[in-house]
Amino acid sequence: MAQSGDGIALANQPGALEDYRRELTGYCYRMLGSGFEADDAVQETMLRAWRSSARFEGRSSVRSWLYRIATNVCLDMLRGRQRRARPMEVGPSSPPDESFLGDMLPEHMWVSPIADDRILPVDADPAEVVEARDTIRLAFVTALQHLPPRQRAALVLCEVLRFQATEVAELLGTTVPAVNSALQRARATLAAVPADERPADVPAGQADLLNRYVDAFERYDMSALVGLLHEDAVQNMPPFAMWVQGAQNITTWMVQPGPSACRGSQLIPVRANGCPAFGQYKPDPAGGHVPWALQVLEISGMRITRMTMFLDTAALFPSFGLPAHLP
């Protein structure tokens, strides 16, 4: 096959595809529900694109071509898999007692976090950034996992990334009526997701609340912390299925024998899934502080409604640029 001018240009410019890595990572993350799998999917997308770049004929844009490849990669990865979830979908809440903690469950069961700066658009209009944040929040990404993969792709491509239905039909190898039907079914499925699993509005002016949270947590002042939590707040701790509901239950849990080892922790602020987040380091008996959890806070009405403590720090902290130890 003769090479097109576009194909030759791509083949001769190894870095030409890298400009799309950030947005492709965001797409694959919404599809897969895992930051780690999104990285794998984008790497495979780039590899496939590079191998076939000389045959790229320019009948669509490079961006559309890459999204077609990324969609196929994600659909391949999702084939035959159980959807990822959050602990609140797996079973009922537990009393704040360590005997209910149970075993660590496999990583592939859980929706995992991703750093904002790896997927949010750079130099975009502020309104676009706000909208993008809403579509990577843990509740939204979890809700997407309720959709069959092709419906998920249609919804993300059309309603998050603003592709036209004609483009999406080409990407998915189907027709415009089929895309519109998939969108209708996807919307109906999301509408049936329980209200407490959908993302709430993110309030502006969180700085004071977050400053008070850091102060209360680092002093391990449970009385102050209760005042910052919604009365029905939830704390969950992947990879454990256990979760606790209610401000009083959460603070009771935090002073149980095991979790009380977090007394004296230090927090380093980051951003994850469009939300405020912190790398938590607990005291190290040998000196300094060691990683304990990536905390992602969800806020509504100027109260903290969900505290997700992701405990796989060995995998997560490097991806958030967090140090392996605090002196």
List Cα–Cα distances, 17 to 5, 104, 121, in angstroms. 16, 38, 16
Query: Model confidence at 3, in pLDDT bands (50, 70, 90)?
Result: very low
Average pLDDT, the chain: 89
Nearest to 169 by CA among 254, 77, 68: 68
Q: Are 212 and 218 in contact (CB under 8 A)?
A: no
Nearest to 213 by CA among 224, 223, 202: 224
d(CA 28, CA 149): 12
Nearest to 70 by CA among 8, 4, 22, 137: 22
Query: Model confidence at 2, in pLDDT bands (50, 70, 90)?
Result: very low
d(CA 265, CA 281): 5
User: Which element (helix H / strand E) includes 289?
Assistant: strand 289-300
User: Which element (helix H / strand E) includes 140?
Assistant: helix 138-144
Whether residue 84 is predicted with pLDDT greater than 90 in this model: the reply is yes
Structure confidence by residue, pLDDT tens digits, 175-193: 999 999 999 999 999 888 7
User: Which element (helix H / strand E) includes 295?
Assistant: strand 289-300
Q: Which residue has the higher pLDDT, 3 or 303?
A: 303
Domains of the chain: 5-80+110-197 (1.10.10.10), 207-319 (3.10.450.50)
Whether residue 40 is predicted with pLDDT greater than 70 in this model: the reply is yes
d(CA 56, CA 78): 26
Structure confidence by residue, pLDDT tens digits, 201-230: 555 668 899 999 999 999 999 999 999 999
- pLDDT reported for residue 15: 64
Single pTM value for the model: 0.90
- pLDDT reported for residue 261: 83
Whether residue 95 is predicted with pLDDT greater than 50 in this model: the reply is yes
Neighbours of 246 (CB within 10 A): 19
Structure confidence by residue, pLDDT tens digits, 47-74: 998 888 767 766 668 889 999 999 999 9
- pLDDT reported for residue 6: 53
Find the range with the poorest average confidence among 240-244, 245-249, 284-288, 300-304. 300-304
Structure confidence by residue, pLDDT tens digits, 286-298: 999 999 999 999 9
DSSP 41-98: HHHHHHHHHHHHGGG--SSS-HHHHHHHHHHHHHHHHHTTPPPPB-HHHHS----S-G
Nearest 5°: phi and psi at 135?
Answer: -90, 5
- pLDDT reported for residue 80: 85
Query: Model confidence at 9, in pLDDT bands (50, 70, 90)?
Result: low
Q: What is the DSSP letter of 304?
A: E
Helix axes 176-191, 165-172, angle to 10 degrees: 100
Whether residue 113 is predicted with pLDDT greater than 60 in this model: the reply is yes
- pLDDT reported for residue 197: 58
